[in-house]
Amino acid sequence: MIQVRKGTDSQILSVGGYQPSRVVPNSEIVDRIESTDEWIRQRTGIEERRFAAPGESVLDMAEAACRQALERAGLTMDDVDTVIVATITYPFQAPSAATALIARLGNPKAAAFDINAACAGFCYGLGMASDFIRSGTSKHVLVIGVEKLTDFTDPNDRATAFIFADGAGAVLVGPSDHPGIGPTIWGSDADSRDAILLNPSWNDFRNGATGVAWPVISQQGQIVFRWAVYSMAKAGLKALDAAGITVDQLDAFIPHQANVRIIETMAKEMKMPEKVIIAQDIRTSGNTSAASVPLAMSALLKDHPELHGGLALLIGYGAGLVYAGQVVQLPPLPVPTKSN
Amino acid sequence: MALSPADVLAGLKEIVEEVAGIPAATIELDKSFTDDLDVDSLSMVEVVVAAEERFGVKIPDDQVSELATVGDAVNFIVKASA
């Protein structure tokens, strides 16, 4: 008979975030797209976002977020056996961003791979990390969401130029003596694949057909809004149910930071009580796709340190259309060090 | 049984007031959602979903942009309920 391993319960041990230093207010964007600061705030809640410097890469941002997560957990890369990178903007098809990252972080022997689940990528990765630990496959997993969306956004597109931004967030997931990560509720609505696209293909671009430009993101706002609010509110309630947690027991709600209007309407649909603190990192960070949930978690814990150890509902959703969500216990206070 | 246009208009007025904060008294059949009532594209989605629930009809994504005026929406909902 085949011998199998048995793991332990899992939890998020720490979270780290990295944002580029360049702050880009709406005023810097509005002229190119004939818009106004007021219009952007009203439609999206975004006041400013961060753009990476020209030489600042997906890997640079991911590395910084990972180093902060490791330091906050009081662990080193030697403790990490698995690395999952969620991204759609790493500009190499192969080898993966994850293998480049483990080489930089100093443990080139860890299991490492990338996943493409767009803005849901982090929550997909977190669900996998938890299951790897529960099954005994892994002990400590770094899950990173990182994007340099400015490389794939048309700065003149009136529908997207003010939305997307750059950044990285990482969590370290490890063993626990109690369940710290609830079951993942995930799935797709692939009939709506056209609602968010990153087009054209590399092949079409290489062949240089007339009118074929560098690939950029486009989206159909109304379709995405409807799906995000109403289908994702249902998915969020399923994740709560699967974890045996009621909405009243939550301390925080950290959805993908796509649009404040989506976040607020979704919370209303789910009948979130006022005591639940709702992440609105999008106001100052824009939409950073796979990075948005861990970045919002990191920002929320900075502003509300009392939330360490509290219960949060996470949900990511994006191009595919795909989604994933789970209830988690937020990480404990960082291990005291010089910079923590 | 088809809903009556008057009932649908009354219901829509309540929904638009609730979603977009526009006084029901100013909402008339010939008003454009975007130009006259200042209902933006995302609020329009909220109006459509609320209307679907209230009137028990389906308003597909590709129809939403066709509903320019309050009258267009009333006509669509009345037909869809028949």
pLDDT (mean) for A264-275: 94
pLDDT (mean) for A196-219: 89
B34 contact A CB<8A? no
Cβ contact A218:A159 at 8 Å = yes
**Residue A233: strand, helix, or coil:** helix
Instruction: Determine the distance in angstroms separating the CA of B53 from the nearest CA of chain A, rounded to an integer.
Output: 12
Are B45 and A225 in contact (CB < 8 Å)?
A: yes
Closest CA to A332 of A130, A178, A183: A178
- Reported as a pLDDT band with limits 50, 70 and 90, residue A207 is confident
CATH architecture under which domain A185-329 falls: 3-Layer(aba) Sandwich (3.40)
Look up the pTM and report it.
Answer: 0.93
Are A42 and B61 in contact (CB < 8 Å)?
A: no
What does the DSSP 8-state code read for residue A142?
Answer: E
**A276 pLDDT exceeds 80?**
yes
pLDDT (mean) for A80-86: 98
Point out the residue among A42, A43, A222 whose CB comes nearest to the CB of B45: A222
Residue range(s) in chain A whose domain bears CATH number 3.40.47.10: 9-176, 185-329
Cβ contact B76:B55 at 8 Å = no
* Structure token pair of residue A62: 């991911």
Amino acid letter for position A219? Q
**A340 pLDDT exceeds 70?**
no
Point out the residue among A42, A43, A226 whose CB comes nearest to the CB of B45: A226
Sorted by where each begins, the domain ranges of chain B are: 5-80
Q: What is the mean pLDDT of chain A?
A: 95
Q: Could you confirm whether A116 is annotated as catalytic?
A: no
Mutate to test the interface with A, among B19, B33, B45, B67 (most CBs of A within 10 A): B45
A222 contact B CB<8A? yes
Closest CA to A279 of A269, A290, A294: A294
The class that CATH gives domain A9-176 is alpha beta
* Structure token pair of residue B79: 């037909």
How do residues A145-154 score in pLDDT, each as one tens digit? 999 999 999 9
pLDDT at B1: 65
Residues of chain B with pLDDT under 50: none
Percent of all residues in chain A with a pLDDT value above 90, rounded to a whole number: 90
Report the distance separating Cα A259 and Cα A295, nearest Å: 15
B49 → chain A, closest CA residue: A226
pLDDT at A337: 77
What is the CATH T-level fold of the domain B5-80, as seen in this structure?
1.10.1200
Cβ contact A170:A176 at 8 Å = no
What does the DSSP 8-state code read for residue B69?
Answer: B
Number of A–B residue contacts, CB under 8 Å:
27
* Residue that wins the pLDDT comparison between B22 and A175: A175
Point out the residue among A221, A230, A265 whose CB comes nearest to the CB of B41: A221
Are B61 and A226 in contact (CB < 8 Å)?
A: yes
